[in-house]
């Protein structure tokens, strides 16, 4: 039997699955990378997939003129919620999940860029994705790069993480659909081009692009260890849920 199959949606050049994709592939999961920005056609359904990963991008969740495939991604996210299929929406992916499920995304009053501390909420310790990483001794910090944020959670969503500037850093819908505002997939090398393309907006925030990348580079080892393990935990959930679905009924 081949490994569990994950549909991955990439919205823009330079915003691939990075270390999350590497960890999933190392676990034997099959990655179906769809790049609608490059002309790939999104599937009409999640049939044939066991997990769904929606990545980030510089557009916002309402920028349908710039990225006309966004409504179709929203439809797939609603399908994932209906199926309770293991799903992870990252940054724009979380914002699309929020909008698709009836929540509200707004412009952030205080955008987050660079390395930021995360604070677990009470439900995080019981969550099967975040639970292993939220004990008192775990360092929780991640790369942020967003000017939009979830203002109102979808109905029934369970808040899991917060931060000083952004109330909703992670949430769960059902048992298996997660959105995260931060970027568990990237390291310093991945965000180098982001800094180059966002010089003006970063300077408007009083940030130096090279300084942001250097800050992330200083914590590279810890980021790789923490969020690499997080990716593996999500991959294990995809595989576990697929095995549960595929297991024959007991005699």
Express each pLDDT in 108-125 by its tens digit.
Answer: 888 888 899 999 999 999
Residue 211 forms part of a structural domain: yes
- CB proximity list for 9: less than 8 A, separation 6 or greater: 34, 36, 42, 53, 54, 55, 73, 76, 93
Residue 36 lies in a domain: yes
Q: Which domain holds residue 120?
A: 5-246
CATH number of the domain at 86, please. Answer: 3.40.50.880
C-alpha 163/C-alpha 189 separation (Å) is 24
- Looking at the 3D structure of the chain, how many domains does it have? 1
- Is residue 105 domain-resident? yes
pTM for the whole structure: 0.93
- Which positions are annotated as active-site residues? 91, 183, 185
Query: Residue 85 in 3-state DSSP?
Result: coil
Give the tens place of pLDDT for each residue, 9-62: 999 999 999 999 999 999 999 999 999 999 999 999 999 999 999 999 999 999
Helices and strands: H and E segment counts in the chain = 7, 10
Secondary structure (DSSP) of 203-214: HHTT--HHHHHH
Rounded distance between C-alpha atoms, residue 149 and residue 168, angstroms: 8
Q: For residue 4, what pLDDT is reported?
A: 96
Q: Is residue 251 part of a domain?
A: no
Task: Measure the CA–CA gap between 85 and 249, rounded to whole angstroms.
Answer: 20
């Amino acid at each position: 039997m081949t490994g569990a199959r994950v549909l991955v949606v990439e919205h823009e050049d330079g915003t691939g699955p990075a270390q999350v994709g590497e960890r999933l592939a190392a676990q034997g999961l099959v990655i179906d990378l769809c790049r609608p920005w490059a002309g790939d056609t999104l599937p009409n359904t999640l049939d044939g997939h066991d997990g769904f990963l929606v990545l980030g991008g510089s557009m916002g969740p309402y920028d349908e003129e710039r990225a006309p495939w966004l409504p179709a991604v929203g439809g797939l996210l609603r399908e994932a919620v209906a199926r309770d299929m293991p799903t992870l929406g990252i940054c724009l992916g979380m914002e699309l999940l929020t909008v698709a499920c009836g929540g509200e995304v707004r412009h952030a009053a205080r955008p987050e860029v660079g390395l930021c501390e995360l604070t677990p909420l009470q439900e995080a310790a019981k969550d099967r994705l975040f639970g292993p990483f939220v004990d008192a001794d775990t360092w929780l910090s991640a790369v942020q790069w967003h000017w939009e944020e979830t203002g109102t959670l979808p109905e029934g969503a369970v808040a899991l993480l917060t931060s000083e500037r952004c109330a909703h850093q992670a949430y769960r819908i059902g048992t298996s659909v997660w959105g995260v505002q931060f970027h568990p997939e990237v390291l310093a090398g991945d965000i180098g081009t982001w800094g180059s393309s966002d010089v003006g907006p970063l300077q408007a925030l009083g940030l130096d692009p090279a300084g942001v990348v250097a800050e992330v580079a200083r914590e590279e080892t810890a980021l790789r260890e923490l969020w690499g393990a997080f990716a593996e935990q999500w991959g294990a959930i995809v595989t576990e849920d697929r095995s549960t679905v595929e297991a024959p009924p007991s005699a």
